[in-house]
Structure 1
């Protein structure tokens, strides 16, 4: 096949979202008989891991049962079967397994897609995209090394943005203040015999606390509410869909519906979890029905309570954390950091209630920043500067069409950019978990393949949608 017949699609980001998108593009190209080159671009040495699955600590568990994490929704046992073969033992769909396995699974999933793609070809580039230029023939991506790549379409699969210093009450420079606990070797800066302060009490805190806890050390964790994630149950009951929500036109009505639904489930089934899980398929629609003011109120007044019920701890994690708290090795309280002063032996901490602590290190566990205006990623900044993208609702992520294509700034022509996962937060809200990302990856592959086929002018894209929906 002639070299010139290939259309190049650049997928920027090689975590879960990018890996799944690359696999779906290759499969769709093969089934649609459309020559396509997929280039997966990320400076990270591994593929499929990203921030979420790069951890090597076996105490860091997936917070979703293994049976819900197949890369292919039509093959729900794909992950459990793969992991059973890898571990040499049967892994059940209800098990919560170590996160490190999932990154390897995604990498292998992509490798299988590459092997089976008769019309597509694949290249993995270990580069960082820092700039771009858009013209009628596509996009020129510029790498930090000075090289470049011309692509017919670009998919942003950047995952959760890296944390900056916005979680601190004032600028502080010290190796003992750790803004990104997932950066390789970040926790090596924690002195081995000292107490530690974790700022934030969500799922990141649970993992970091279990990594750092040891006899003779107290891991202090504080957040504004002091709320920790609820636990999953080992044998969850079936999800229960919500009642009709046609009248939930504002936030007070939505609150009433959710509380009633949870109360009914608790009364009839002894558990509120089926109610929260049953809302999952409707969460994006409910979010989109809210006015901008109601969305702001939700973020200010309801977000934390929703998160601790929606994003829960694996049972093993919850048991280990409870034991550490009982033994005094972990202390979780409400509090707000007001001052952090480096000292020769660590950091002197002042909290809003007047408490003072001296710790060997302070670790940010507040999670990723949500506002795209806070992004330090040069590629995101270049997209916004060029007009090829605009901030999403409330500044959350980037604005997108239903198929994930970026909405350009007013007055700018449509650009061949798509995104999925965390960057669609403002439009979808429920967008960062694997069940949502795998659907978005398929939608993007459909849209990109149709555009590539139309540009080729050979009609090959006529069956793209049907092809993808059947895979």
Structure 2
């Protein structure tokens, strides 16, 4: 009898949980034998994004657009209704902890269904991966190696990069390198101002958590841009514009601005124009030359992020209230140097200003360049040539459908990835609508492949 195929999914956050669920769902539809190994020491479905239990840490996307399945768009809303009838609607931005709970339930339902696929939850950390004649073998932190026919790397978001951190600050106990590490914010001193480096989504959550009477929370970034708020009510959908296939980045920029302005005139809101670009963002990104992509990342990415990755209206109002009260201060700035004393950190900015704060928190967002990620699995993949960094510095080098492109440039037939590690190929690859589509397509590819179809 042929051996039941095994697919290892490394990472049990949103991307890994959705991938495992889609594999089981696909196996049920095909009535195909399959073992799914979900490898991660953490809690299923939580990851970094949905591990917070704070009630004010909300999803940045309305519940109606957060279904685990693209073919069942109201799946999450129906789950919320069953859990607490009448409490949440599709337009609500619900607490992130609820979404983590939902993802775990999604996987439980897929695993307990009538299909022949079986889920094996492995509560271990994958620290290495080797190619074998029959697929791959994963080395675990404190258990026997695990063989599989193929592996999906669903590693999620890594802790923030620290290349900007002065050595004296890096050594100080008053520097917090990863605000989402369990219990990290509770370890900060109760007195003294706090400096947050970064002014994006992470900063908003951290600032509102730390803000209190008698403390100033200062946030700086190169541009000092804050995330824009979502609209108070649902917006219409506008078709994306067409682009000249021979256009350079300056022409594309002009076309984008013209499109957003036209949508603002027609629909009364610029957000319609930005959201209408979603179907063509990856195509536009892939059209750009490497030099143009680098230009965009340096000159345009901050403005794009502030308008594309928005915050709930209630969070925006809370932030503005704290800013108006002087408890949160946001502006441009870059750290030039820092000196730690016994009870404070003296920070010198590049414009000559100095700040004395009780702590500095790294809110610059996840490290995107895998060459600088402190993870033995990632480091081993790069060292052995099984994976290569994307030329943009965004994740792994992959094909558009998520196969790893190793150092020799030949697409892997046993190693796949999704989510943030595919940003180099797709640029926008971190939101649930993108990840669920990737998980769905990946399951179809894997269960149709020679390795998983034995």
Into which bin does the TM-score normalised by the smaller protein fall? over 0.9
After alignment, is 71-80 or 282-291 more displaced?
71-80
Q: CA 1:136–1:412 in structure 2 vs 1: closer, same or farther (change >3 Å)? A: farther
Cα distance in structure 2, aligned partners of 1:423 and 1:357:
36
SS at match of 1:333: strand
Cα distance in structure 2, aligned partners of 1:190 and 1:413:
46
Q: Is it true that 1:82 corresponds to 2:79 in the alignment? A: yes
The residue that corresponds to 1:284 in the other structure is 282
Cα distance in structure 1, aligned partners of 2:412 and 2:295:
32
Cα distance in structure 2, aligned partners of 1:413 and 1:17:
21
The residue that corresponds to 1:340 in the other structure is 338
The residue that corresponds to 1:433 in the other structure is 431
Partner of residue 394 from structure 1, selected from 392, 395, 398: 392
Contact 2:124/2:141, CA 8 A, preserved across alignment:
yes
Cα deviation, residue 126, structure 1: 1.3
Cα deviation, residue 15, structure 1: 0.4
Q: CA 1:215–1:252 in structure 2 vs 1: closer, same or farther (change >3 Å)? A: same
Partner of residue 210 from structure 1, selected from 185, 208, 211: 208
The residue that corresponds to 1:139 in the other structure is 136
Cα distance in structure 2, aligned partners of 1:133 and 1:447:
22
SS at match of 1:445: helix
SS at match of 1:353: coil
Q: CA RMSD in A?
A: 1.6
Cα distance in structure 1, aligned partners of 2:410 and 2:264:
51
The residue that corresponds to 1:64 in the other structure is 61
The normalised TM-score by structure 2 is: 0.96
Q: How do 1:331-410 and structure 2 match up within 5 A?
A: 331-410=329-408
Cα distance in structure 1, aligned partners of 2:409 and 2:296:
32
Q: How many residues align?
A: 453
Contact 1:197/1:362, CA 8 A, preserved across alignment:
yes
Deviations along 1:217-274, one digit per CA (max 9) or x if unpaired, are 1101111111101111111321212321134621001101111011111122221110
Cα deviation, residue 452, structure 1: 5.2
After alignment, is 248-257 or 445-454 more displaced?
445-454
Q: How do 1:169-318 and structure 2 match up within 5 A?
A: 169-170=166-167, 172-247=170-245, 249-318=247-316
Cα deviation, residue 454, structure 1: 6.4
Deviations along 1:191-228, one digit per CA (max 9) or x if unpaired, are 11221110010111110001000111110111111110
Cα distance in structure 1, aligned partners of 2:114 and 2:395:
32
Cα distance in structure 2, aligned partners of 1:453 and 1:400:
19
Cα deviation, residue 58, structure 1: 0.8
Cα deviation, residue 88, structure 1: 3.3
After TM superposition, the runs of 4+ consecutive aligned structure 1 residues lying more than 3 A away are 411-415, 452-455
Q: Which runs of 5+ in 2 are unaligned?
A: none
After alignment, is 60-69 or 236-245 more displaced?
236-245
Cα deviation, residue 170, structure 1: 3.4
After alignment, is 230-239 or 101-110 more displaced?
230-239
Cα distance in structure 2, aligned partners of 1:243 and 1:157:
32
Cα distance in structure 2, aligned partners of 1:170 and 1:285:
41
Q: CA 1:244–1:148 in structure 2 vs 1: closer, same or farther (change >3 Å)? A: same
After alignment, is 427-436 or 90-99 more displaced?
90-99
Cα deviation, residue 77, structure 1: 1.1
SS at match of 1:393: coil
Deviations along 1:405-444, one digit per CA (max 9) or x if unpaired, are 1122217684401000000011000111000000100111
Contact 1:132/1:382, CA 8 A, preserved across alignment:
yes
Q: Which runs of 5+ in 1 are unaligned?
A: 457-471
After alignment, is 133-142 or 106-115 more displaced?
133-142
SS at match of 1:221: strand
SS at match of 1:83: helix
Contact 1:224/1:336, CA 8 A, preserved across alignment:
yes
SS at match of 1:394: coil
The normalised TM-score by structure 1 is: 0.93
